Amino acid sequence: MSKESRNSRSGSTLTNSLAEKPRERRSTDIGEPNNRTNSNGFDVHRVYETFTTALRQPENPKSPIGTQDYIDGYRELLKFFDQLGRVFRFVKDDVVDKLNILQTFADKDQKNAIKHFETIQSAIDYETEQNLIKTNPERNFARTLLRLHRALLFIIQFLQALNERPTSENTTTIATSCYDATLYHHHGFLVRNSVRVGFRILPSRKQLDDVIFHGHKSDLLSQYDHFIQTIKQIYDIVERYYAEKKYLQLP
């Protein structure tokens, strides 16, 4: 399938070089900056691309979510937190560990004739049928993914708030508010206090704008909004699936 053409104005930083997915592209697909960052830096385009591929049926409120693409998208998203200093180690270290566990499941699944872990939903169904969630509580797909799922909500809210909150609110205030509404409920007393102290040394909002938009904020704002919406759509699908299975309160 050929790439979807799009009009661009003179001097714009957006191009139509986003690789075509194995499904029809949406008209709101995010553009790609000409001045791409290196592969080790945070790039909204790369995060968007991988998470969009994970969403197998974007118009379906119960769309299958591809496991490997979800893992890849999350790894790209974590590059943002490399720019925030040591305070976000509480997020990144735990997330990296959980992603590695999910990757082990995905890699082993590739060797099997029947793919139980190809999508998030099929993986949870398989572990439910095999009673693996209760018998192996420390290292199974469903419980591991749930930890990532909870952290993803914090990341979504934080990235969205950086763009939407009044300029009078500093990064510390925004991060604390998002944390209190999400991960706070899953952490113990010592972690909560350490996180709140660490938030005081976060980069300024201007510095984070540079990390996200690379100096082209006015050109990329609408695409950034769609990037957030896509990740939130995936979060909502997974949230509903866990709710249906009554797994949201798993320890």
Q: With cut-offs at 50, 70 and 90, classify the pLDDT of residue 195.
A: confident
pLDDT in tens, 170-188: 999 999 999 999 999 988 8
pTM exceeding 0.85: no
Look at residue 180 and tell me if it is in a domain.
yes
Number of domains in the chain: 1
Q: With cut-offs at 50, 70 and 90, classify the pLDDT of residue 40.
A: low
**Would you list the DSSP string of the chain?**
-PPPP----TT-SEES-PPPPSSPPPTTPPPEESSPPPTTS--HHHHHHHHHHHBSSTT-TT--BBHHHHHHHHHHHHTTGGGG-GGGHHHHHHHHHHHHHHHHHHHHHTTSSS-SSSBHHHHHHHHHHTTHHHHSTTS-HHHHHHHHHHHHHHHHHHHHHHHHS-TTS-HHHHHHHHHHHTGGGGS-HHHHHHHHHHGGGPPPHHHHHHHHHTT-HHHHHHHHHHHHHHHHHHHHHHHHHHHHHT-TT--
With 50 as the cut, is the pLDDT of residue 18 above it?
no
Residue of higher predicted confidence among 32 and 117: 117
Half-sphere exposure of 224 (CA within 13 A, CB side): 20
Q: What is the mean pLDDT of the chain?
A: 83
Look at residue 148 and tell me if it is in a domain.
yes
Look at residue 23 and tell me if it is in a domain.
no
Q: With cut-offs at 50, 70 and 90, classify the pLDDT of residue 42.
A: confident
Domain CATH code at residue 197: 1.10.3520.10
Look at residue 3 and tell me if it is in a domain.
no
With 60 as the cut, is the pLDDT of residue 23 above it?
no
Lowest mean pLDDT across 88-97, 123-132, 190-199, 209-218: 88-97
How far is it, in rounded angstroms, from Cα 128 to Cα 77?
29
Look at residue 30 and tell me if it is in a domain.
no
Residue of higher predicted confidence among 24 and 136: 136
With 70 as the cut, is the pLDDT of residue 72 above it?
yes
Which amino acid is located at 197 in the chain?
V
How far is it, in rounded angstroms, from Cα 104 to Cα 211?
31
Rounded average pLDDT over 109-119: 94
Look at residue 15 and tell me if it is in a domain.
no
Look at residue 119 and tell me if it is in a domain.
yes
Look at residue 4 and tell me if it is in a domain.
no
Q: Do residues 211 and 80 make contact, with C-beta atoms less than 8 angstroms apart?
A: yes
Phi, psi of 15 (to 5 degrees): -130, 175
In 3D, which of 100, 120, 142 has the Cα closest to residue 51? 120
Per-residue confidence (pLDDT) for residue 90, from 0 to 100: 64
In 3D, which of 25, 106, 34, 85 has the Cα closest to residue 59? 25
Could you list the residue range(s) of the whole structural domain that residue 115 is in?
Answer: 38-245
